[in-house]
Amino acid sequence: MSKQDYMNIAVQEPPLDYSFRSIHVIQDLTSEEPRRGLRPLRHSKSGKSLTQSLWLNNNVLNDLKDFSHVVSQLLEHPEKLAWIDLSFNDLTSIDPVLTTFFNLSVLYLHGNSIQRLGEVNKLAVLPRLRSLTLHGNPIEEEKGYSPSLPHRQYVLCTLPCVTTFDFSGVTKADRTTAEVWKRMNIKPKKVRIKQNTLWTMSPAIALAFLPLVVTLLVRYRHYFRLLVRTVLLRSLRDCLSGLRIEERAFSYVLTHTLPGDPGHILTTLDHWSSHCEYLSHMGPIKGQILMRLVEEKAPASVLELGTYCAYSTLFIARALPPGGRLLTVERDPRTAAVAEKLIRLAGFDERTVELIVGRSEEVIPRLRTQYQLSRADLVLLAHRPRCYLRDLQLLEAHALLPAGATVLADHVLFPGAPRFLQYTKSCGRYRCRLHHTGLPDFPAIKDSIAQLTYAGPG
């Protein structure tokens, strides 16, 4: 087969897809079966794949050791590799091995652990690179990160051939700005210093901004009140009492509730949050949605990630069918101790509600062997929205979600879980519905519970 014939076939070939395989090291590719698509892959006489695309997304790779060697074992012409998808792994840097594939035109690195924007400089040697993604990496936590200035222009300055960055097309204005940056040799750090100097303005200029500040405070007064109650007042009371808010709430429950009555305990927690200290809990409206769904689905086993003060735990436990089991995971031992007391005070024993103390990413791989949970018919994600996507993919990877399982995710709009929602809507394995509500005691701040129905592995 001539090289021209190979190019014509390879461009039309589906990718060699090793996504969602829980691959830890590149060497595992030689023993792992690729995913099957709608069209079968073609192979050469030597048994190697005739394709220019390699997908390794949604695995647990933290380095690319022996990448070139393994790729040469999988592809008939590895030097023609044009598309590499390494998104949603644990890579901390851009490995120089990627710069040896000079035909590379598409490189997906979003959802990794890359911390330095300067890693992009390594890709400048790739003459055909047209599409690059970096969003969802720790570099987003740097002050000022956004797909716009300054980092977008930094990337375009470094990689002038790129036409699509973070799934957004590069405009003529982007090119013009990048060219100005290139001539002025501007770096992102210097831009941030210039931005900071804006605060050294004269009192007259500062006074001119006063109407704008007042307008923002009026418009976002609900968020300002929430900030005061959840951060300022809570921190002050923590210092004065030496107790956390959930510990103070438990003391209030002990003196104002009836043991063995989960409904009365929930009402007492609501009263505490409304009239004493804001608890940042699910609230009665979301609680009723949760309880109704549990009653409708009648799951034999439920997994909750994020116990907190056991508020949502009690709603689930009340609605469990006879013989149902709830495993709830809380990472903070001090918070878990309070939740354990509230669960037992409500009358639920360990056979019905088992509380596990630990990080969700460490607990999920041990659920089957250590906690005898072979499947979770219903899952509630109520811990940290930025961890939702990672933990959902862990549940998929360890085959803990049966077809038809229900996954509920709280706070998907505030503070928000955009990557999680984007993934569930685009991967094709979930049907998604949003239950729109507001925060308890702050109905003007809109939020939603996402209800996902799992269709099974693709």
Confidence (pLDDT) at 194: 43
Output the CA–CA distances (angstroms, integers) from residue 184 to 27, 190, 198, in the order listed. Answer: 45, 11, 20
Q: What is the residue-wise DSSP string for 122-159?
A: GGGG-TT--EEE-TTSGGGGSTT-SSSTTHHHHHHHH-
Phi and psi at 253, nearest 5°, equal -65, -40
Q: Could you give the angle at the alpha carbon of 40 between the alpha carbons of 126 and 424, nearest 5°?
A: 70
Give alpha helix (H) positions in 15-162: 67-74, 151-158
The number of angstroms, rounded, from the C-alpha of 82 to the middle of its chain's C-alpha atoms is 28
Strand partners, 433: 451
Phi, psi of 259 (to 5 degrees): -60, 145
Phi first, then psi, for residue 108 (nearest 5°) are -105, 120
Same domain, 316 and 228: no
Residue 26 has pLDDT above 70, yes or no: yes
Distance CA 49, CA 102 (A): 19
Q: How far apart are CA 426 and CA 424, in angstroms?
A: 6
Say whether both 296 and 441 belong to one domain.
yes
Helix (H, G, I), strand (E, B) or coil at 313: helix
Name the 3-class secondary structure at 17: strand
407 closest CA partner among 429, 378, 437:
378
343 and 420: one domain? yes
pLDDT of 120 above 70: yes
Residue 6 pLDDT: 37
- Clarify whether residues 98 and 237 are in a common domain: no
- Residues near 284 by Cβ (< 8 Å), separated by ≥ 6? 266, 270, 440
Q: Which of 214, 241, 268 is the last residue of a domain?
A: 241
Residue 147 confidence (pLDDT): 44
Mean pLDDT for 421-439 is: 92
- Whether 96 is in a domain gets the answer yes
- CATH classification of the domain holding 292: 3.40.50.150
Phi, psi of 435 (to 5 degrees): -100, 105
Residue 124 and residue 227 share a domain: no
pLDDT of residue 59: 87
Asked if the structure places residue 346 within a domain, the reply is yes
144 and 191 in contact (C-beta within 8 Å)? yes
How buried is residue 262: exposed, middle or buried, by Cβ count under 10 Å (0-12/13-18/19+)?
A: buried
Are residues 44 and 130 located together in one domain of the fold?
yes
Which of 215, 241, 267 is the last residue before a domain boundary? 241
Q: 19: pLDDT confidence band, cut at 50, 70 and 90?
A: confident
Closest CA to 126 of 146, 107, 150, 148: 107
Question: Within a domain: residue 325?
Answer: yes
Query: Is residue 400 very low, low, confident or very high in pLDDT (cuts 50, 70, 90)?
Result: very high
Select the more confidently predicted residue: 4 or 97. 97
* Residues 319, 237 within the same domain: no
Same domain? For 430 and 292 the reply is: yes
Per-residue model confidence as pLDDT tens digits over 435-449 = 999 999 998 899 999
Q: Is the pLDDT of residue 5 over 50?
A: no
Average pLDDT, whole number, for the chain?
Answer: 86
pLDDT digits (tens, 9 = 90+) for 34-63: 888 777 888 888 889 989 999 998 888 999
Tell me the pTM: 0.57
Range of the domain at 28: 3-141
Local confidence band at 410 (pLDDT 50, 70, 90 cut-offs): very high
Mean pLDDT is lowest, of 4-8, 24-28, 32-36, 147-151, for 4-8
Residues 207/212/214/215 CA torsion (nearest 10 deg)? 160
pLDDT digits 0-9 by tens, 245-259: 999 999 999 999 989
Q: What is the mean pLDDT of residues 284-309?
A: 96
* Residue 265 located in a structural domain: no
Instruction: Tell me the pLDDT tens digit for each residue of 308-320.
Output: 999 999 999 999 9
User: pLDDT category, 195, cuts 50, 70, 90?
Assistant: very low
- Does residue 80 contact residue 103 with C-beta atoms inside 8 Å? yes
Domain match, 225 and 354 both: no
Phi-psi region of 269 (alpha: psi -120 to 50; beta: other; left: phi over 0): alpha
Number of structural domains in the chain = 3
Of 84, 113, 141, the one marking the end of a domain is: 141
The CATH number for 117's domain is: 3.80.10.10
Q: Are residues 434 and 303 in the same domain?
A: yes
Over range 221-234, report the average pLDDT.
90
Q: Would residue 225 count as lying in a domain? A: yes
Say what the alpha-carbon torsion angle 260, 262, 268, 271 is, to the nearest 10 degrees.
-170
Q: Which two tokens stand for residue 115?
A: 């911390």
Q: How far apart are CA 162 and CA 142, in angstroms?
A: 23
Confidence of residue 145 (pLDDT cuts 50, 70, 90): very low
Are residues 6 and 79 in contact, defined by beta-carbon separation less than 8 angstroms? no
Give dist(CA 40, CA 140) in Å, integer: 38
Distance in angstroms (rounded) separating the CA atoms of residues 307 and 313: 7
Separation of alpha carbons 250 and 3, rounded Å? 72
Task: Find out whether 449 and 289 touch, Cβ atoms under 8 Å.
Answer: yes
Q: Which amino acid is at 23?
A: I
| Other C-beta atoms lying within 10 Å of the C-beta of residue 121 | 13
Please, are residues 118 and 152 in contact by the beta-carbon 8 Å criterion?
no
Q: Is residue 235 part of a domain?
A: yes
Does 199 score more than 50 pLDDT? no
Note whether residue 431 is domain-resident.
Answer: yes
Residue 29 reports pLDDT greater than 80: yes
Angle at 120 between CA 116 and CA 121, to 5 degrees: 110
Position 373 scores a pLDDT of 95
Q: Token pair 């709603």 is at which residue?
A: 315
Check residue 354 and give its pLDDT: 97
Which among 278, 283, 332, 329 is positioned nearest to 302, based on CA atoms? 329
What's the confidence (pLDDT) of residue 150?
Answer: 57
pLDDT range class, residue 84, cuts 50, 70, 90: very high
Instruction: Examine the domain organization and report whether 293 and 429 are in the same domain.
Output: yes
440 preceded by a cis bond (ω within 30 of 0): no
Q: Does residue 253 belong to any structural domain of this protein?
A: no
33 and 126 part of one domain: yes
Mean pLDDT of 347-363: 96
